[in-house]
Amino acid sequence: MAKSFEEFNLNRQILNAVADAGFTHATPIQEKAIAPVLSGQDIFGIAQTGTGKTAAYVLPILMQLKYAQGDSARALILAPTRELAMQIAEHVKLFSTYTDLRSVVIFGGIGPKAQTEQIKAGVDIIIATPGRFLDIYLAGHINTQYLKFLVLDEADKMMDMGFIGSIHRILEIVPRKRQNLLFSATMSNLVQKIAGDFLKHPTIIEVAEQATPATTVTQSLYEVPNFKTKINLLRFLMEDNEDFKRVIIFCKTKTVADNIFSFIERRFGEDAVRVIHANKGQNTRINSINAFKEGNIRVLVATDVASRGIDVSEVSHVINFDVPIVIEDYVHRIGRTGRAYSEGDALTFCSPAEKYYIQKIEKLIRQQIPVVPLPAQVFVEDTPYEERQAINRAIDDQKRKEDPDFKGAFHEKKHAAAIAAAARASVKKTNKQPAWKKKKFKK
């Protein structure tokens, strides 16, 4: 039986806020992490998305900070994307409702002036993306000498996004005597490296095997020959608006995301869908996520920039229209459904050029994704010449990655032809009489 929050050493203000938020029992990561964080230990937490890890570190930090004090931050929480930073900030505000603790969220994409003014007014907790934090610090608006807590959330994504340099710079400007908390869904070599630089004799908490999807998520794989057939399959599935009632569709590129958005908008109406990606303005992205959270729209189309920043309950389906190339993103994408003990479905559309990544994903998650046959009602289109060529080139590139000596299908044919020509020339040369013989027997 899961622990009740009443069993933790949390004060009444925090417990009331937790109760107001509708939480009664701790998730496994909360059960394992809250007490060690309260006792001052460094933590290395390995937990998949949707397990409640934000509350696992926010609650004990709030408990130890207790009340507003001075003007300078005493806790810094770093997140890789603005969406995740905003999500964490929401949790901090929610759980600190009955305290006077002040929190500020800072991220890029908008001017720093308003964020700087909030910090100057006094702050206890800063939630930030690394780049914007450094910008405001270097401008002289953040005092780090009173920091007691430093949190790295989604450390694997930070490493994927190239933040390792920024993290090292931040480590140079924060007090050496502090409590460090690092959380990651996967364990890459870079995460282990930053953990070695960041943590001192940490308590390692692992609530699931590394990079394993939540057990509440049912996974399915559709093998689809081309883009148009993917569209036909998507249309067929989305016709079922009772089952597919709250859907996130993930795409590999901004162009594909915009195309899928236009298709859904034409087919199901402009009130049914929003799209978010890096080219969308900050306010547009926030409004789209809020509209999806509040149930005002049925479908959210997104690129991976948003895969870790969407914390929405009761997402019925995640559809991977494209297989992610950064294979760890698969876990984070499908983690948007099946959250906090709810059940959800994750469907992946896989073209011949994407099977390579599916094999790598299955190796990462240590399980096979069940292949589901295409429904009979879905029309299978012929693959256009240009798309067929692009698929073949992609497969060649993948083979070349695995075998640097691989020259590609076209080169293999050319090479085979060259070998055959050389063989014919050799035979011809062997059968040819030497010049001295010709002279000797010439009449």
pLDDT in tens, 385-394: 999 999 999 9
Assess contact for 301 and 274: CB atoms under 8 A.
yes
Average pLDDT of the segment spanning 374-390:
95
pLDDT band of 337, cuts 50, 70, 90: confident
Distance CA 239, CA 233 (A): 10
Residue among 391, 405, 300, 393 at smallest CA distance from 350: 391
Percent of the chain with pLDDT over 70: 87
In a domain, residue 37? The reply is yes
In a domain, residue 436? The reply is no
Percent of the chain with pLDDT over 90: 52
Range from 138-152, 311-325, 403-417 that averages highest in pLDDT: 138-152
Say whether both 298 and 185 belong to one domain.
no
What is the pLDDT, as a whole number, of residue 76?
97
Report the Cα 176 to chain-centroid distance in Å: 30
Average pLDDT of the segment spanning 81-95:
90
CATH number for the domain harbouring residue 52: 3.40.50.300
What is the pLDDT, as a whole number, of residue 100?
95
In a domain, residue 317? The reply is yes
Average pLDDT of the segment spanning 131-140:
95
More confident residue, 320 or 211: 320
Average pLDDT of the segment spanning 357-363:
92
Average pLDDT of the segment spanning 327-354:
85
Say whether both 169 and 258 belong to one domain.
no
What is the pLDDT, as a whole number, of residue 443?
43
Say whether both 178 and 31 belong to one domain.
yes
Say whether both 156 and 294 belong to one domain.
no
Distance CA 301, CA 252 (A): 11
pLDDT digits (tens, 9 = 90+) for 159-182: 878 888 999 899 999 998 999 999
pLDDT band of 374, cuts 50, 70, 90: very high
Res 307 pLDDT > 60 = no
Say whether both 201 and 243 belong to one domain.
no
Average pLDDT of the segment spanning 53-62:
93
Q: How would you classify the pairing of strands 43-46 and 203-206?
A: parallel
Say whether both 39 and 185 belong to one domain.
yes
Res 437 pLDDT > 50 = no
In a domain, residue 250? The reply is yes
> Which residues lie across from 184 on neighbouring strands?
46
Say whether both 349 and 258 belong to one domain.
yes
In a domain, residue 425? The reply is no
Region of poorest pLDDT, from 291-295, 309-313, 320-324, 419-423:
419-423
Region of poorest pLDDT, from 75-84, 296-305, 311-320, 416-425:
416-425
How many domains in the chain?
A: 2
H/E element, 37: helix 28-38
Residue 39, CA atoms < 13 Å, CB-side half-sphere: 10
pLDDT band of 198, cuts 50, 70, 90: confident
In a domain, residue 33? The reply is yes
Q: How would you classify the pairing of strands 317-320 and 247-250?
A: parallel
Distance CA 24, CA 8 (A): 12
Res 37 pLDDT > 80 = yes
Region of poorest pLDDT, from 254-263, 416-425, 431-440:
431-440
Region of poorest pLDDT, from 26-35, 86-95, 186-195:
186-195
Rounded (to 5) percent helix, strand, coil in the chain: 45, 15, 40
What is the pLDDT, as a whole number, of residue 420?
61
Average pLDDT of the segment spanning 16-39:
88
Res 442 pLDDT > 50 = no
Give the domain range for residue 95. Answer: 5-206
> Which residues lie across from 190 on neighbouring strands?
none
What is the pLDDT, as a whole number, of residue 440?
47
Res 46 pLDDT > 60 = yes
In a domain, residue 137? The reply is yes
- In the block, tokens 């807590």 appear at 149
pLDDT band of 321, cuts 50, 70, 90: very high
What is the pLDDT, as a whole number, of residue 22?
79
Res 380 pLDDT > 90 = yes
Say whether both 186 and 244 belong to one domain.
no
What is the pLDDT, as a whole number, of residue 385?
95
What is the pLDDT, as a whole number, of residue 259?
95
Say whether both 164 and 223 belong to one domain.
no
Average pLDDT of the segment spanning 269-273:
91
Amino acid at site 349: F
Q: Output the average pLDDT for the chain.
A: 86
Say whether both 32 and 167 belong to one domain.
yes
pLDDT band of 284, cuts 50, 70, 90: confident
What is the pLDDT, as a whole number, of residue 323?
95
What is the pLDDT, as a whole number, of residue 210?
56
